[in-house]
């Protein structure tokens, strides 16, 4: 009986952990945060963002950007060399698939590699 109760508690805690685990497909951003973003321009569809310096899924070097404001699922970013703010979705169609201790936070609208060099997973 005692063993059954312990097993049930452990399973309940594991399930709760999965339910409340951080959603890697969404970047929680606020004004003033710094991220790395695709530097290809407004017409680029990848809209890759990461917390770590890397290349975007297009293969180009990302630029260090500052979050100006966040409205819903869109962050307005500003970076050196940009003449105006650019809109980036805070929820990716693809996200870093690394283990829980990874903090690159890479998300993209296109498939490709995250900042860790691993293939990102498609978000359901």
Among 29, 31, 51, residue whose Cα is nearest residue 107: 51
Beta strands 63-71 and 107-108, pairing class: unpaired
pLDDT in tens, 55-78: 999 889 999 999 999 999 999 999
More confident residue, 8 or 77: 77
Q: What is the CA radius of gyration of the chain?
A: 17
Q: How confident is the model at residue 100 (pLDDT cuts 50, 70, 90)?
A: confident
pLDDT of residue 21: 42
pLDDT of residue 23: 64
pLDDT in tens, 15-54: 444 443 456 789 999 999 999 999 998 889 999 999 999 9
């Amino acid at each position: 009986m005692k063993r059954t109760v312990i097993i049930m508690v452990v399973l309940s805690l594991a399930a709760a952990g999965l339910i409340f685990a951080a959603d890697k497909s969404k970047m929680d951003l606020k004004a003033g945060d710094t991220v790395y973003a695709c530097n290809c321009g407004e017409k680029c569809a990848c809209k890759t963002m990461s917390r770590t310096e890397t290349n975007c899924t297009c293969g180009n070097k990302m630029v260090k950007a500052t979050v100006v404001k966040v409205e819903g699922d869109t962050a307005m970013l500003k970076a050196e060399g940009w003449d105006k703010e650019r809109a980036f979705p805070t929820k990716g169609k693809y996200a870093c698939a690394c283990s829980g201790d990874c903090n690159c936070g890479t998300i993209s609208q296109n498939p490709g590699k995250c900042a860790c060099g691993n293939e990102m997973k498609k978000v359901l």
